[in-house]
Chain A
Amino acid sequence: MTVVTVEKDYESLSLIMLAEFDAPLERVWELWADPRQLERWWGPPTHPSTVVTHDLAVGGEVTYFMTDPDGRRSHGRWRVTSVDPPRALAFTDGFADPDGTLRPGTPRTEVRVQLAEHDGGTRMDLRFTFESGAHMEQLDRLGAFDVFPQSVGQMDAVIHAS
Chain B
Amino acid sequence: MVVSASDDEVDRLFHALADTTRRDILQRCIGGEPSVSRLADLYPMSFAAVQKHVAVLERAGLVTKERRGREQLVHTDGDAVTRARTVLDELEAAWRGRVDRMADLLGERRR
Contacts and interface: CB of A to CB of B under 8 A. Distances in A.
Nearest to B8: A142
Interface stretch (A36-44, A52-60, A78-86, A96-104): A36-44
Given A124-B99, A159-B101, A148 B94 contact: yes
Given A17-B92, A144-B10, A155-B97, 6 more contacts: A27-B106, A44-B94, A130-B88, A132-B18, A144-B7, A155-B100
Contacts of A40: 101, 105
A126 B100 contact: no
Interface residues of B, number: 41
A2 B105 CA distance: 12
Nearest to A149: B97
Interface in B51-104: 81, 84-85, 87-104
Contacts of A28: 102, 106
Nearest to A18: B99
Interface centre among A11, A133, A143 (most CB of B within 10 A): A11
Interface residues of A, number: 51
B23 A11 contact: yes
Contact of B110 (A1, A126, A147): A1
Contacts of B17: 11-13, 130, 132
B105 A31 contact: yes
Interface of A: 1-3, 6, 8, 10-13, 15, 17, 19, 21-23, 27-28, 31, 37, 40-42, 44, 107, 109, 124, 126, 128, 130-133, 136-137, 139, 141-152, 155-156, 159, 162
A30 to B, nearest CB: 9
A136 B106 contact: no
Contacts of B15: 132, 136-137
Nearest to B82: A10
7 contacts: A8-B89, A136-B12, A147-B1, A148-B1, A152-B93, A155-B101, A156-B100
A36 to B, nearest CB: 11
B99 A149 contact: no
